[in-house]
Chain A
Amino acid sequence: MDDLKRRLLQRIIRTMPTQMLKTTLSKWARLNIEQQESLDFTQPKFLLTDQLLALCGESGLGVKHITELEMIYIIDNPNQRLWHAYQLLEAGDDAHSVEVTNFKEQFKVHLTELIRHVSIKIKKHTDEAVWIRIAWGDRSSRPNHLKPTYVVHHLQTPYVFVTNLTSKTMPLLSQALVMATRYSSMKDANLSGRNLSAVRDLLMKQFQQVFPSKHLQPLGKKNQINSNPQIEREQDEQSETRLQIACEAFGGGTLPELQKAIYTLETKLKDNTNKIMTEREQPFRCVVTFKSTNILESLRHSAMTGIASTPVTPMLSSISQKGRNHFLITDKGPGPQRKL
């Protein structure tokens, strides 16, 4: 047990910048002020871990408390993980009346019924989100606290965000969530990203959307000095049209930060100059990934500069319009969505 405590603490401290560690420890409030002040943050981290471990021993703090510390840190810094979005389907009549205490209780009951060795910690965060930390065990082994799954759910919404989940534990989580929230099923929303709030904003459409309009509104800044008014006007109009189209496709203003969009293509290769491939029965299998620090902004910029032709294909505009970044494309239209 002591070894687990050490490894858990080591892992938390290693990932945390020292300044962050200070504030997180005071938020945690398991150590008294004197203990907190006795910590020497200038020493190497492995020594700091030893000191902290000794203090935990002094105050009789166990694994349970240390996972709490981890949770506080993760809630404050969610963007170091990859978050997958899921959507709850078919709300029951009483889905709207689920509140935190009830949800907590129900979730715990259902999950422990499904799997005996599991450790669950639930915390309600200020912004109405419920954070769940789950350490999974299996039939014979105790819960593994070193590889916990985190789940974020905003009550009264059909969205769930999950990080670090395996295909083995997926059905268990899905079932417990569905029962606790009074929905009937949960499906993969085909959206993932490192920035939790961006993933949430995209799914809940909380970004500036631009709708088609016949009268172009000047979205961009106009040039003040016109050397040749006519040419300038024409160029301005063209670039304004492109800007409008790009914003209609991807959204205006600052866009949610997504790092990737992945397309699995299973479509026929049609090429006028290549008879053999065009006549081939089988689809041409490939995977295309767009990567950037913010793909929506990169794609919008590409549409504005002409790297992406306008009108923008639905393949790309679906990212913001459908809130997805994983696509399976076949010749029979979008592929079947995986149900859980």
Chain B
Amino acid sequence: MDRHTSVARTPVSSVVVQRRSKSHRLSYRSNVGTMSHLGYTPGFSKRRLTTSRLAPKHSRITEVNPEQLALLVREWQLSYVTPLYRFRHGQLKSYSRQLAAFMVSEQQQGVAAEVGLESALKVSFTLVAGMAQTEEEANTVFIQIHSKPPFSAPDDPQKLLWSGWLTSVGGNPDYLRSLPEDFVCLPLFCSGGTEGLTALVKAWFQQTFDCCFGPLEINSVNLQWLAALWTDCHARSSIKQLKLVWSLPAEPPLEVTYTVHPQDAWELWRSIRQPGERGGEEEEDGSVGLEEVACFIKGLKSHFYRHFRVELSAGRLTQVSTALGSAKHGGRLKISNSSYMITTLTLLTECALLKMPI
């Protein structure tokens, strides 16, 4: 854990919390060699980013609560969001009202034309328990926007217009501790609904909590991580298939879909994981190394090259999917199985923290 210690170099006490100045806050990125992470080559800094992760364990969540189930249903568009200023988990009811009012007023100004707000809106903020991994970590917040058609009876089903959530799973505790008191860090924002509505929700957050949003792409290295981590789960929960999609820069563009039989993918993974140091069959709590992930993908690529003599490395890995979930380069995520969602979200939380511009 040596790589995180320098976070404390700037004394927290010296940080003057001011609403408009964020430059005082510690940067997550400033402490880690981002290049090594994004560029996939060992950087000059000794403090390289995650080259090793815990192997996915069956989630600590013994019973999946209904709020968590809501996170599974659909495909989400990912964004990062900077820490929220004066966000209070105790005021979710009031936020629900404020956001609803905000949306109506924006609509009246004509800004949000054509987002389907003709009818009355019902906004609800709820807590999703059991996601935070440490004491410091803030609880996940789930937001839903329903519409009430004008002439409906009180018990008519409401139409879900938009949903989204802000989360932090397994964020670096040192970084979280270093944040000034009034900031709440929920760096991963997942949205599902029309772009217009997403933009409105973001605008309200920006205004209310002085934060900013940005798109979160899942780069090739992280897609490879997901491919390996999901494959690792196969023995306990079938992944059905391992599907990888590459896009190659030919004219017209060429897309290669590589679908591997789950058992064979897992055996390839095991064959790479085998060599020593992990103490026999008891790898349950073992860690997965970046070089193992690279080796796994290399194995798949070389099998492909042997047959087709086409360089997948010339293109870009754009999508990974298994029965546990799917992730796309453009920042779209679907979680299909709650058991291993903590592993997936830990990785994405880290991506979001790295992406923050401060």
Q: List which A254-299 residues lie within 8 A (CB) of chain B.
A: 263, 265, 267, 269-271, 273-274, 276-277, 280, 282, 284-295, 297-299
Q: List which A50-93 residues lie within 8 A (CB) of chain B.
A: none
When the two chains form their complex, are residues B259 and A287 in contact, meaning their CB atoms are under 8 A apart? yes
Q: Which residues of B contact A274 (CB under 8 A)?
A: 268, 271-272, 299
Interface string of B244-259 (1 = CB under 8 A from A): 0000111111111111
Q: Which of A140-148, A169-177, A311-319 sits within the interface?
A: A311-319
When the two chains form their complex, are residues B272 and A286 in contact, meaning their CB atoms are under 8 A apart? no
Complexed CA–CA distance, A293 and B307 (Å): 23
| Given contacts A276-B274, A291-B255, A313-B309, A299 and B303 within 8 Å (CB-CB) | no
Q: List which B219-270 residues lie within 8 A (CB) of chain A.
A: 248-261, 264, 267-268, 270
| Given contacts A269-B268, A313-B308, A316-B308, A302 and B261 within 8 Å (CB-CB) | no
When the two chains form their complex, are residues A288 and B309 in contact, meaning their CB atoms are under 8 A apart? no
Is A329 interfacial (CB-CB < 8 Å)? yes
| Given contacts A276-B274, A307-B314, A298 and B308 within 8 Å (CB-CB) | no
Is B302 interfacial (CB-CB < 8 Å)? yes
Q: Which residues of B contact A295 (CB under 8 A)?
A: 254
When the two chains form their complex, are residues B310 and A308 in contact, meaning their CB atoms are under 8 A apart? yes
Is B291 interfacial (CB-CB < 8 Å)? no
B261 to chain A: closest residue by CB: A285
When the two chains form their complex, are residues A307 and B249 in contact, meaning their CB atoms are under 8 A apart? yes
| Distance from A247 Cβ to chain B, minimum over Cβ atoms (Å) | 15
Interface string of B278-313 (1 = CB under 8 A from A): 000000000000000001000100111011111100
Is A305 interfacial (CB-CB < 8 Å)? yes
**Mind listing 18 A-B residue pairs with CB under 8 Å?**
A267-B307, A273-B295, A274-B272, A276-B271, A277-B271, A286-B258, A288-B259, A289-B256, A290-B256, A292-B252, A294-B252, A298-B254, A299-B250, A301-B251, A301-B252, A307-B249, A308-B310, A315-B308
Tally of contact residues, B, Cβ under 8 A = 34
| Distance from B235 Cβ to chain A, minimum over Cβ atoms (Å) | 16
Q: List which A296-340 residues lie within 8 A (CB) of chain B.
A: 297-299, 301-302, 305-309, 312-313, 315-316, 329
| Given contacts A293-B252, A301-B251, A305-B250, A277 and B307 within 8 Å (CB-CB) | no
A265 to chain B: closest residue by CB: B307
When the two chains form their complex, are residues B259 and A312 in contact, meaning their CB atoms are under 8 A apart? no
Q: Which residues of A contact B307 (CB under 8 A)?
A: 263, 265, 267, 288, 313, 315, 329
The 8 Å CB contact of B254, one of A270, A302, A313, A315, is A302
| Distance from B224 Cβ to chain A, minimum over Cβ atoms (Å) | 17
Complexed CA–CA distance, A270 and B267 (Å): 14
When the two chains form their complex, are residues B256 and A288 in contact, meaning their CB atoms are under 8 A apart? yes
Complexed CA–CA distance, A289 and B244 (Å): 11
When the two chains form their complex, are residues A309 and B304 in contact, meaning their CB atoms are under 8 A apart? no
Interface string of B310-325 (1 = CB under 8 A from A): 1100110000000000
A278 to chain B: closest residue by CB: B271
| Given contacts A274-B271, A308-B308, A312-B309, A284 and B250 within 8 Å (CB-CB) | no
When the two chains form their complex, are residues B253 and A298 in contact, meaning their CB atoms are under 8 A apart? yes
When the two chains form their complex, are residues B252 and A297 in contact, meaning their CB atoms are under 8 A apart? yes
Q: Which residues of B contact A (CB under 8 A)?
A: 248-261, 264, 267-268, 270-272, 274, 295, 299, 302-304, 306-311, 314-315
| Distance from B194 Cβ to chain A, minimum over Cβ atoms (Å) | 24
Complexed CA–CA distance, A316 and B308 (Å): 7
| Distance from A326 Cβ to chain B, minimum over Cβ atoms (Å) | 14
Known: A280-B267, A288-B304, A308-B309. 17 other contacts (CB 8 A): A271-B302, A273-B295, A274-B272, A274-B299, A284-B264, A285-B261, A288-B307, A290-B256, A291-B255, A291-B257, A294-B252, A295-B254, A302-B248, A308-B311, A309-B310, A313-B309, A315-B308
When the two chains form their complex, are residues B267 and A277 in contact, meaning their CB atoms are under 8 A apart? yes
Complexed CA–CA distance, A285 and B315 (Å): 23
| Distance from B295 Cβ to chain A, minimum over Cβ atoms (Å) | 8
Q: Which residues of A contact B311 (CB under 8 A)?
A: 306-309
Complexed CA–CA distance, A309 and B314 (Å): 12
A284 to chain B: closest residue by CB: B264
The 8 Å CB contact of A298, one of B250, B274, B306, is B250
Q: Which residues of A contact B272 (CB under 8 A)?
A: 274
Complexed CA–CA distance, A207 and B248 (Å): 25
Q: Which residues of B contact A263 (CB under 8 A)?
A: 307
The 8 Å CB contact of A292, one of B254, B260, B270, B304, is B254
Q: Which residues of B contact A271 (CB under 8 A)?
A: 299, 302-303
| Given contacts A295-B254, A298-B254, A307 and B310 within 8 Å (CB-CB) | yes
B262 to chain A: closest residue by CB: A285
A268 to chain B: closest residue by CB: B303
When the two chains form their complex, are residues B250 and A286 in contact, meaning their CB atoms are under 8 A apart? no
Q: Which residues of B contact A313 (CB under 8 A)?
A: 307-309
| Distance from B97 Cβ to chain A, minimum over Cβ atoms (Å) | 40
Q: Which residues of B contact A273 (CB under 8 A)?
A: 295
Q: Which residues of A contact B249 (CB under 8 A)?
A: 307
Q: Which residues of A contact B267 (CB under 8 A)?
A: 277, 280
When the two chains form their complex, are residues B254 and A299 in contact, meaning their CB atoms are under 8 A apart? yes
Complexed CA–CA distance, A316 and B271 (Å): 30
| Distance from B128 Cβ to chain A, minimum over Cβ atoms (Å) | 37
Q: Which residues of B contact A315 (CB under 8 A)?
A: 307-308
When the two chains form their complex, are residues A307 and B303 in contact, meaning their CB atoms are under 8 A apart? no
| Given contacts A271-B303, A295-B254, A301-B251, A286 and B309 within 8 Å (CB-CB) | no
| Distance from A112 Cβ to chain B, minimum over Cβ atoms (Å) | 42
Interface string of A157-195 (1 = CB under 8 A from B): 000000000000000000000000000000000000000
B253 to chain A: closest residue by CB: A292
The 8 Å CB contact of A286, one of B252, B260, B270, B274, is B260
| Distance from A4 Cβ to chain B, minimum over Cβ atoms (Å) | 33
| Distance from B111 Cβ to chain A, minimum over Cβ atoms (Å) | 31
When the two chains form their complex, are residues A285 and B310 in contact, meaning their CB atoms are under 8 A apart? no
Q: Which residues of A contact B248 (CB under 8 A)?
A: 298, 302, 307
When the two chains form their complex, are residues B259 and A277 in contact, meaning their CB atoms are under 8 A apart? no
Residue from B272, B309, B315 with most neighbouring chain A CB atoms (10 Å): B309
